[in-house]
Amino acid sequence: MNIISIIGLLLSTGVLVAGLRMANPDLMLFFDGPSLFIVIGGTFAATSVAFQLTKIGNLFKIFFSQFLKGKSKKQSDLIKNIMSICEAARNGEALDSLVGKADDPFLKEAIQLYADGILEKEKVIDILTHRANQMGVLRFEDTRKIKSLGKFPPAFGMMGTTIGMIVLLANLGGEDAMKMIGPAMGVCLITTLYGVIIANLFVIPIGENLEVLSRESQIRNEIILEGIKHIMEKSNPILVAEDLNSFLLPKDRLDWKNA
């Protein structure tokens, strides 16, 4: 589970609630049913038009599978795993047994494809490269969908504020008109507040988080692609470590001397 991101989400929510309480101890002042309905309902309606109503469930699936369950993995651990597999291959261990040593699903799939012995090495690499690229495209497409939702809540927040202003001005008149403006304006602006909160506290940060995870996954797949070549060639584990470390920043690289 993506514990760090969840804690960050809870922390940002806590900061928001604390800020609202500092502004006014009565939190019910910031609640307005019609405003909430306009922002959430409008966002849902716009999403159903943009991505088709039947595919909205996929967005929730992306949220649960990638944001809640996804988490960053140390790339150095992957390099260490590939090193150990190369060492086992150099010692004459059977290819089928190497599959069980792989910790990453894509690495396991890559070794299994090679172990089947049906395709030539070059063809195996071509297929794995295509799969890695396609996985990257699909992940970034999912991220794009989530991030694109961030533009809907503020828009419907402004729409709700405009509706509130129209209602206010239409009913403005009489001796108590000046007394009505303050409270009515407060209700109008709550809709904008809801739109800003939903977009900037939840949707956009989640989209950015998924984008980071997608980039890390893409680098991970590139390391595996290079690693499977070394496994095929039964390369020296030290050569494997030095080569695969090239994908990482110096601080993230595997110290193979202590591995």
Which amino acid makes up residue 47? T
Is 242 among the domain residues? yes
Do 110 and 119 meet the contact criterion of CB atoms below 8 Å apart?
A: no
**In which band, very low, low, confident or very high, does the pLDDT at 23 lie, cut at 50, 70 and 90?**
confident
pLDDT digits over 114-168, tens only? 999 888 999 999 999 999 999 989 888 888 888 888 899 999 999 888 888 887 7
Do 126 and 246 meet the contact criterion of CB atoms below 8 Å apart?
A: no
How confident is the model at residue 149, as a pLDDT?
Answer: 86
Q: In angstroms, how far is CA 166 from the centroid of its own chain? A: 39
Which amino acid makes up residue 201? L
In three-state secondary structure terms, 82 is: helix
Task: State how far the Cα of 151 lies from the Cα of 204, in Å rounded to an integer.
Answer: 9
How confident is the model at residue 123, as a pLDDT?
Answer: 94
How confident is the model at residue 12, as a pLDDT?
Answer: 87
Q: Number of folded domains in the chain?
A: 1
pLDDT digits over 71-126, tens only? 667 899 999 999 999 999 999 888 888 999 999 999 999 999 999 988 899 999 99
Q: In angstroms, how far is CA 56 from the centroid of its own chain? A: 16
Residue 47 clears pLDDT 70, i.e. is over it: yes
Range of the structural domain that residue 234 is part of: 75-139+217-252
How confident is the model at residue 84, as a pLDDT?
Answer: 93
